[in-house]
A and B are shown apart, each in its own frame.
Chain A
């Protein structure tokens, strides 16, 4: 039942919205992973981010593809939790420790262990529309635990215009998606995050985009 709903959601509804309401220009599509485990590490501006990224992967991978999302936000009531867990298929992540020994990244590690392709937002929150917030080091911590898993930086532009934080109405905009080369962990978290930041900046600079303020 859950799998069928998920297939209808991503295979039909999301794809129709992406095709007609949005419209994606994807650069370097060939850099997307063809199997798990893998991580797509993208900038975060909109609820549409994860949907648009998941629509780029073939449907046969859908059972393996899951966005990592904030447990405090998406599990805040029963209905939303059901939708988030069964239809969207999130890997819930707690953003705050309840206890000093809590392992916040355990669900992410478990999903990678299962061979999932995860959509990960290192900024941790959508923030101000079409503006990059600080990338948090959670990404480097995941990479440190699983240095064998490729992390693919993905830069998106336009989704925060189509559906920014605090809005419910989607306004059509074309979306540009730039897929980067996979990053490998080299033993140093700070250096790893610096390389991720540089990769994202390089992707963002591939095309000139109009200001949005």
Chain B
């Protein structure tokens, strides 16, 4: 391990290994399901599992070696997510160059993370970018649909840049504190549980789902999926919290519920955005999943929630 100059501690490595083992089991199960079936109804599930291998590999490589590489990776993720969002929503021709400034917020926001400039990290998008983008837009002089354009651009910055950058700030959060914790462990913890929660809610909903929870936004989501998923996510949270985080037993229950229900809200919020625009998937980058937004939708809520819980109670 020393020869590889890994940045992550052994516990993170062990959890990554466990994820690979779970994926291997899932791949085996899907292969068995596909064997006796010539209708191809499990093809999307198979594509999904295959994509998980790629996503896990990219994530593991991104976080393992250097903190700077990991922060740069999340900057790239923010950029791709923002690009997907801005390509999806109706934008005005007059705002083409305004969007350029919006993109420029990505490297700056992650620069504050790298420099651990916490105050700037917190206010840059909500205050400076908010005011600057509005100024840039109004100087262009186009008033038709001004409020809609200003609102949608800022919403994109708040979610895809500000929201996601909380994941990167988890990497530097333990610096200078005497709480025994590693940034990569905190990051892995919230990403793993959020994605697991998505899968568990899907599985619970598919097997036991009866009652629609929010039909006008996401017709396939059920109360059974939501509650079953959130509770089983909480159980997993309690089990692995001692391995990756300084969370106490009661706090780990709170965090589990927060990720379970927060992830659901993130998921249906992006569903509402897509429904408003009139598309099913946000893109086609990840086979079986859709676009980047389809994959990170839950993280847009769980990342800031988990970050501020940790920041307030532990760091």
Proximity string of chain B (68-92) to chain A, C-beta cutoff 8 Å, 1 when within and 0 when not: 0000000000011001101111111
Contact of B284 among A25, A169, A212 (CB under 8 A): A25
Stretch in B95-103, B189-197, B263-271, B299-307 touching the partner: B95-103
B131 at the interface (CB under 8 A from A): no
Other-chain contact of A210, B79, B100, B277, B285 (Cβ < 8 Å): B277
Residues from chain A with Cβ under 8 Å of B93 in the complex: 129, 164, 212-213
Is B272 located at the chain interface by the 8 A CB criterion?
no
CA distance A23 to B285 in the complex (A): 9
- Give the docked Cα–Cα distance between A207 and B41 (Å): 24
CA of A158 to CA of B88, assembled, Å:
10
B87/A174 in contact, CB under 8 A: yes
**B279 and A208: CB pair below 8 A?**
yes
Q: Which residues does chain B contribute within 8 Å of A129, judged by CB atoms?
A: 93
- A210 close to B84 (CB less than 8 A): no
- Nearest-CB residue, chain B, relative to A169: B100
Asked if B283 lies at the interface with its beta carbon under 8 angstroms from chain A, I say: yes
The answer, yes or no, to whether A7 is at the interface (CB within 8 Å) is: no
Residues of B within 8 A of A167 (CB): 96
Which single member of B83, B89, B277 contacts A172 (CB below 8 Å)? B83
B89–A210 contact, CB under 8 A?
yes
Q: Which residues of A contact B79 (CB under 8 A)?
A: 172
Q: Is the CB of B86 within 8 A of A210?
A: no
Using CB atoms, name the residue of chain B closest to A170: B100
Q: Which of A182-213 contact B (CB under 8 A)?
A: 207-208, 210-213
Interface bits A151-191 vs B (CB < 8 Å: 1, else 0) = 00000001001001001010111100000000000000000
| Contacting pair A164 B283 (CB below 8 A) | no
Smallest Cβ distance from B195 to chain A, in angstroms? 23
- The verdict on A171 contacting B88 (CB below 8 Å), with A23-B285, A25-B284 known, is no
Contact of A25 among B86, B91, B283 (CB under 8 A): B283
Chain B residues closer than 8 Å to A173, beta-carbon distance: 83, 86-87
A-B contact count (CB 8 A): 48
Residues on A with C-beta less than 8 A from B180 are none
Q: Which of A158, A172, A211 has the most CB of B within 10 A?
A: A172
Cβ-based interface call for B36 (8 A): no
- Contact between A158 and B91, CB atoms less than 8 A apart: no
Q: A210 vs B85: C-alpha distance in the bound complex, in angstroms?
A: 12
Note all chain A residues with C-beta closer than 8 A to B80.
23
B278 interfacial contact with A, CB 8 Å: yes
Chain A residues closer than 8 Å to B87, beta-carbon distance? 158, 161, 173-174
Nearest opposing residue in chain B for A26, CB measure: B284
Residues of B within 8 A of A213 (CB): 92-93
Residue contact A172 to B96, C-beta cutoff 8 Å = no
In the bound complex, CA of A213 to CA of B84 (Å): 19
**Bound CA–CA A45/B89 (angstroms):** 20
A23 surroundings in chain B (CB, below 8 A): 80, 83, 285
The interface residues of chain A lying within 8 Å CB-to-CB of B96 are 161, 164, 167, 171
| A173→B93 CA distance, assembly (Å) | 13
A49 to B105, CA, bound (A): 27
Contacts of B83 in A (CB 8 A): 23, 172-174
B97 pairs with A169, CB closer than 8 A: yes
Could you mark each residue 82-100 of chain A with 1 if its beta carbon is under 8 Å from any beta carbon of chain B, else 0?
A: 0000000000000000000
Closest chain-B Cβ to A168's Cβ sits at a distance in Å of 11
CB-nearest residue of chain B relative to A161?
A: B96
Give the distance in Å from the alpha carbon of A161 to the alpha carbon of B91 in the complex: 10
Are B100 and A171 closer than 8 Å at their CB atoms? yes
Cα(A212)–Cα(B86), bound, Å: 12
Residues in chain A within 8 A of chain B (CB atoms): 23, 25, 129, 158, 161, 164, 167, 169, 171-174, 207-208, 210-213
Could you pull out 26 A-B pairs where Cβ atoms are within 8 angstroms?
A23-B80, A23-B83, A23-B285, A25-B283, A25-B284, A129-B93, A161-B87, A161-B91, A164-B93, A164-B96, A169-B97, A171-B97, A171-B100, A171-B103, A172-B83, A172-B86, A173-B87, A174-B83, A174-B84, A174-B283, A208-B279, A210-B91, A211-B90, A212-B91, A212-B93, A213-B92
Taking Cβ atoms with an 8 Å cutoff, the residues of B that contact A are 79-80, 83-84, 86-93, 96-97, 99-100, 103, 277-279, 283-285
Nearest first, the 4 A-B pairs at minimum CB distance are A174-B87, A210-B90, A25-B284, A173-B87
